[in-house]
Structure 1
Amino acid sequence: MRPARSAVAADPTREDIVPLLRGVSHLYSAYIAAAAGVVLVVLAPEPLNRLCAVLYGAALLGLFAVSGLYHRWRWNPRWRPALRRLDHCTIFVFIAASSTPLALLVLSGTTQLMVLILAWAAAAAGVALSLSWIDAPRGLVAAAYVLAGLAATIGLPQILERLPTAPLILLAVGAGLYIVGAVVYALRRPNPWPRVFGFHELFHALVVAAATTHFAALSGWVLLRASMTG
């Protein structure tokens, strides 16, 4: 394999154009995610918090590490389809893993169970889609990302009741950034500098920003604090 390089083409949205910064943001984010995940696990106050921290931290690391490695290099054509499938699968797993701490440490009763079931059922469906139809239309894939992320909204009444304003704002901002990223991915626009930083790099940057805001909310008010489920 070798680092991806840009190509010259008339259509700046073509898939064979590989901008110079393809994969850079996610590759470096993987290192940060690894360190942050260890901190979460070490500082978790209770066994359930630690379990959630392990799951969330591993999914966060997997998301950025697989994406960074897949996008940063030109892989052998024999390996590329498998890595692309793995890249898409980690996104769905991460979405479910992001909802799990909220479900287990904030929600309670039937709502808790419903969020867990829906989040991981959506992840399973997304993984199945990624494995069986890797060339699915971008719009369909982007919609699947958004729908999978909406599983946690079932618990919104309890979340609004039990979390203070700061994490609620962070969660809302992160959700908005994820949705904007999904739209950019689906439309392949805007495409600022196709040979350096194109639409896919913008999508990656939005994912990094969204993951950062959600990490701040989950670490500061959920994972490192006692369970609110009663």
Structure 2
Amino acid sequence: MSANSRSQEKIKLPYTKAYYITNEVLNSVTHGIGFLLSIVATVFLILKGVENQNSIEVFSYVVYGISMCALYLASTLYHSFSFTKAAGILKIIDHSSIFILIAGSYTPFALVAIGGVFGWFIFIAQWAIALFGIIGKILFLNKMKKFSTLLYILMGWFGVIAIPQMATAIGSGGIAWLIAGGVTYTVGTIFYAHDNLKFWHVIWHLFVLGGSIAMYFAVLLYV
């Protein structure tokens, strides 16, 4: 067997080319839909903030909306161009945008629902962790998947320290939507952590959509 043949054996992919193409098309479509929905959702939130004549609300909703749009756009672009030379940088942006979405999702709860010194503490802590995670992704993209998955989960459930304040601010209805979103995201990380299995990354995308929808209604209806 020639050296070239041995090399080809080593890089032989476990699935067919047709599967990889189908998988990436589905990944692109699912989060492409998420991007379009995020734009519409952001408009409604900004209108809500303007109607309430509250600059902190508007700021929080803009940050939250941008974080949603950023995640879904980054994911759509990465999966659309995953077979090109741009895949490397797009993958970093895609994975980093998860940190941005989590911190962005916390922003309206921290600054509007909770407010005060404690609210600003949560806001700053979330964005500091997000920055740490993003730097880690840039420097060690392919070496920190398990760590970053754990960090996603820890960031997501960081808010348990504010349960009394959150319960007072958004009531049982808001808490129910929050828990639904948190559980959906958390269950989804199982598929993210094992996305080498067939279509598990697509399933992860669907869980992200579900979690985003639950979080959005918590913000829209109760914050």
Normalising by structure 2, report the TM-score. Answer: 0.85
What is the DSSP-based 3-state SS (H/G/I as helix, E as strand, rest coil) of the residue aligned with 2:27?
coil
* 1:68-83 → structure 2 map (5 Å cutoff): 68-77=76-85, 79-83=86-90
| TM alignment of 1:211-222, pairs within 5 A | 211-222=212-223
Q: 2: distance between equivalents of 1:96 and 1:74? A: 26
SS in 1 for 2:20: coil
2:40 match = 35
Residue 107 of structure 1: how far off its partner (Å):
1.3
- Partners of 1:36 and 1:148 in 2: how far apart? 23
Aligned to 2:3: none
Moved more, 213-222 or 150-159: 150-159
| Match among 53, 57, 66 for residue 61 of structure 2 | 53
CA distance in 1: counterparts of 2:139 and 2:82, whole angstroms: 23
Give 2:139's aligned residue: 132
1:17 equivalent to 2:20? Answer yes
Query: Quick one: distance in 2 between partners of 1:115 and 1:74?
Result: 35
Change (3 A) 1:74 1:128: closer
Secondary structure in structure 2 of the residue aligned to 1:23: helix
> Which residue identity does 2:27 align to in structure 1?
R
Give me the whole-angstrom Cα distance separating, in 2, the residues matched to 1:130 and 1:86.
9
Structure possessing the higher relative contact order (Cα contacts under 8 Å, 6 or more residues apart): 1
Q: In the alignment, is the contact (CA less than 8 A) between 1:29 and 1:208 conserved in 2?
A: yes
Whole-angstrom CA distance in 2 between matches of 1:108 and 1:37: 21
Q: Secondary structure at the match of 1:188?
A: coil
Separation in structure 2 between the aligned mates of residue 183 and residue 12 of structure 1, nearest angstrom:
21
User: Is 1:98 aligned to residue 98 of structure 2?
Assistant: no
1:89 aligns with 2:96: yes
**Cα distance in 1, alignment partners of residues 32 and 42 from structure 2:** 16
Equivalent residue letter for 1:32: L
Cα deviation for residue 137 of structure 1 reads 4.1
Match of 1:118 in 2: 125
Q: Partner of 1:228 in structure 2?
A: none
TM-score (normalised: structure 1) = 0.82
The answer to whether 1:204 aligns with 2:205 is: yes
Letter in 1 for 2:71: L
Match of 1:142 in 2: 149
Amino acid of the structure 2 residue aligned with 1:216: F
The alignment covers a number of residue pairs equal to 206
- Which residue identity lines up with residue 28 of structure 2 in the other structure? G
- 5+ residue gaps, structure 2: 1-11
Question: Considering only CA atoms, is the larger Rg found in Structure 1 or Structure 2?
Answer: 2
CA contact under 8 A between 2:103 and 2:130: conserved in structure 1? yes
Which structure has the highest helix share of the two? 2
- In structure 1, list runs of 5 or more residues that go unmatched: 1-8, 223-230
Instruction: Tell me the distance in 2 between the aligned counterparts of 1:176 and 1:26.
Output: 20
Identity %: 25
Question: Aligned-pair distance for 1:86?
Answer: 0.7
How far, CA to CA, are the matches of 1:112 and 1:53 in structure 2? 15
Partner of 1:188 in structure 2? 195
